[in-house]
């Protein structure tokens, strides 16, 4: 039995970097608990939740019974639905009492991403603190959003309480302050429950990869600071042979990909941060199957059994796929300058792909600015070297917020008296300030791309959509102010112009990442932004591996690659899984060059 299933707490949170398997582990844990005869509520707080897909039924923003598992109910907190309900609670009572113009102004204030976040947060705290809901279940298992979301969500109770105690005002993107004040007791109750080790357990999920383990180490420290100290670690997807498991050493001698796969996993496990070593730690084996359906979930914690005969079937199978990233770089370079944005679910390799594109462009003699909006990204560690013409930076939310406050106070503060200055400083302590500051920094790099190449490694999908939402809100406001016939160019218009912006969607050749990438593509198209290309990263199907487990996973990847090539992607590059870490200029250039085949589906 795994330690996180021994005497489980009332609330069990699964968190970690995107793509590490939180949803699979949360669903498998819920099924395991139900099989033991208890009642379980499974709640996803991930804006990109796929719990419904795992169980093969519609879940949505209300509690429903999972038909295939007696005793299990589930709910997906849908940010858009939560935000709409939140807006209605604020606007509804005053509709018909206030002028239409004022109603429209309040609605516009409540259209930002900040409102979406607080609305989702309200749904979360309502669940945690509502005895009418909780009394119906023995355990509540949370499949949380990617780490950045989770930290923000779980620290919001304290942040909002502090903000409410200091902030005064009429209305903001959060709604009337009086309405928020009513939530103070609910937030305090939520904080107390999360901090109680007898009530709450945090399961930190990582892949056996350095960046993934470092990420949960940071999460562990930050959530311990807010009181969540009952923690354990699950390292998911360990290939037999790494971490001291038995394996056929003969295959290691003939399969460099499998050997490199194990070596990289083992090196990451050996370098696990000391703070994590002090926590109870379990490993879960890499499965040769998609974890969709109850039967697959019930096998998740069991040993892997794969016939070694399948390892040799590859000899008569299709040749490894080849569609190098460098062919996409050729097309990007032909325009002379512009903005390239890598987008996708966390953990799919956006940072590596962005760094490889930027390094390849710079190595060809171009001036390139490589930057990131991902709080968890480590561009300098990935580039790990100096390349003439390449500048590397990071949009840091705290630094951007501090700079934004400094500029606003310098511009407006000199004209205010002491009371007015205090009020301005108070307003700038709003949680919305960070959103505005990051948007302004993002707008700056968009503008910069008019004269050189700017490659942006974006945050995981949810963060990126929030940023684009802010960009859209700004565009609507400028358009309203300029009126019909006014001439202007907003950041959103530059993102919508394919001559200025190339959006590259990065995915893995796995079911969930491809579905989520397709959903992201749909979201972008609704915003008037047409994705330019897809990059399928870490493709075992392009590696030529003969390891039994990896070979089976490569076969599964081909189904997803066919779906991408068959209609999702206008252009496609496939980056093979590499036996070496893609760190440093030379490794990144080798990653970009691939095997030299043509881009699939290029126009």
The residues annotated with a catalytic role in the active site are 19, 21-24, 46, 512
* Greatest Cα-to-Cα distance within the chain, rounded to the nearest angstrom: 81
Instruction: Please state whether 533 falls in left (phi above 0), alpha (psi between -120 and 50) or beta.
Output: beta
What are the start-end ranges of the H helices in 209-315? 210-225, 249-254, 256-270, 274-277, 294-299, 309-313
Question: Which of 506, 498, 496 is closest to 356 using CA atoms?
Answer: 506
- What pairs with residue 342 in β-bridges? 457, 504
- Angle, CA 429 vertex, CA 423 and CA 430 arms, to 5°: 100
Query: How much is the CA Rg of the chain, to the nearest whole Å?
Result: 25
Q: Which residues contact 1 (CB under 8 A, 6 or more apart)?
A: none
User: In whole angstroms, what is the distance from residue 287 CA to residue 284 CA?
Assistant: 9
In the chain, count H helices and then E strands.
Answer: 26, 16
CB-based contact 597:324 (threshold 8 Å): yes
**Integer Cα distance of 232 and 281 in angstroms:** 6
Residue 207: how many other CB atoms lie within 10 Å: 23
Reduced to 3 DSSP states, what percent helix, strand and coil does the chain have, rounded to the nearest 5? 50, 15, 35
Residue count of the chain: 603
Give the burial class of 38: count Cβ atoms within 10 A of its Cβ; 0-12 exposed, 13-18 middle, 19 or more buried: middle
Q: Name the token pair of 524.
A: 């972008």
Pair 172, 430: CB distance under 8 Å:
yes
| Sheet architecture: strand order including 368-372 | 390-392, 368-372, 453-457, 338-343, 501-508, 533-539, 572-576
| Residues 194/200, Cβ–Cβ less than 8 Å | yes
Cα separation, 410 vs 189, in Å, equals 40
């Amino acid at each position: 039995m795994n330690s996180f299933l021994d005497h489980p707490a009332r609330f069990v949170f699964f968190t970690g970097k995107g793509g590490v398997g939180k949803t699979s582990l949360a669903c498998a844990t819920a099924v395991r608990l139900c099989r033991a005869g208890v009642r379980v509520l499974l709640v996803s707080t991930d804006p990109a939740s796929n719990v419904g897909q795992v169980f093969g039924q519609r879940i949505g923003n209300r509690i429903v019974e999972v038909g295939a598992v007696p005793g299990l109910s589930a709910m997906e907190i849908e940010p858009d639905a939560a935000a709409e309900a939140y807006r209605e609670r604020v606007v509804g009572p005053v509709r018909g009492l206030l002028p239409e113009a004022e109603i429209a102004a309040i609605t516009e204030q409540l259209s930002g991403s900040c409102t979406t976040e607080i609305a989702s947060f309200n749904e979360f705290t309502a669940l945690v603190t509502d005895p009418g809901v909780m009394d119906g279940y023995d355990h509540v298992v949370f499949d949380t959003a990617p780490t950045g979301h989770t930290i923000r969500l779980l620290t919001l109770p304290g942040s909002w309480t502090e903000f409410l105690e200091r902030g005064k005002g009429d209305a903001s993107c959060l709604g009337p302050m009086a309405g928020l004040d009513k939530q103070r007791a609910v937030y305090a109750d939520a904080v107390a429950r999360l901090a109680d080790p007898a009530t709450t357990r945090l399961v930190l999920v990582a892949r056996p990869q350095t960046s993934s383990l470092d990420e949960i180490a940071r999460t562990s420290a930050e959530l311990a600071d807010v009181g969540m100290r009952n923690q354990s670690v699950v390292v998911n997807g360990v290939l037999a042979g790494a971490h001291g498991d038995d394996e056929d050493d003969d295959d290691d001698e003939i399969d460099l990909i499998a050997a490199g796969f194990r070596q990289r996993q083992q090196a990451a496990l050996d370098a696990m941060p000391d703070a994590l070593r002090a926590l109870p730690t379990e490993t879960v084996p890499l499965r040769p199957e998609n974890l969709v359906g109850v039967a697959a979930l019930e096998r998740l914690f069991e040993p892997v059994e794969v016939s070694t005969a399948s390892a040799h079937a590859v000899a008569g199978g299709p040749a490894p796929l080849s569609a190098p990233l460098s062919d996409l770089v050729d097309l990007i370079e032909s325009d002379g300058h512009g903005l390239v944005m890598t987008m996708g679910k966390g953990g799919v390799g956006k940072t590596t792909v962005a760094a490889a594109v930027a390094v390849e462009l710079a190595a060809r003699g171009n001036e390139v600015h490589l930057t990131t909006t991902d709080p968890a990204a480590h561009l300098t560690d990935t580039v790990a070297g100096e390349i003439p013409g390449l500048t590397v930076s990071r949009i840091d939310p705290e630094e951007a917020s501090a700079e934004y406050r400094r500029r606003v106070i310098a511009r407006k503060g000199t004209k205010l008296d002491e009371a007015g200055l205090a009020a301005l400083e108070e307003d700038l302590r709003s949680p919305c300030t960070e959103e505005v500051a990051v948007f302004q920094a993002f707008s700056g790099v968009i503008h910069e791309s008019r004269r050189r190449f700017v490659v942006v490694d974006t945050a995981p999908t949810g963060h990126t959509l929030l940023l684009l939402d802010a960009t859209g809100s700004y565009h609507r406001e400028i358009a309203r102010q300029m009126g019909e016939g006014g001439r202007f160019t907003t950041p959103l218009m530059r993102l919508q112009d394919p001559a200025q912006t190339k959006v590259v969607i990065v995915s893995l050749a796995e079911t969930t990442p491809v579905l989520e990438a397709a959903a992201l593509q749909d979201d972008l198209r609704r915003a008037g932004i047409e994705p330019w290309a897809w990059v399928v990263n870490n493709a075992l199907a392009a590696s030529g591996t003969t390891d039994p487990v990896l070979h089976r996973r490569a076969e599964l990847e081909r189904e997803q690659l066919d779906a991408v090539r068959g209609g999702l992607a206008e252009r496609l590059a496939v980056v093979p899984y590499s036996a070496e870490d893609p760190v440093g200029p030379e490794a990144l250039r080798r990653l970009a060059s691939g095997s030299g085949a043509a881009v699939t589906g290029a126009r």
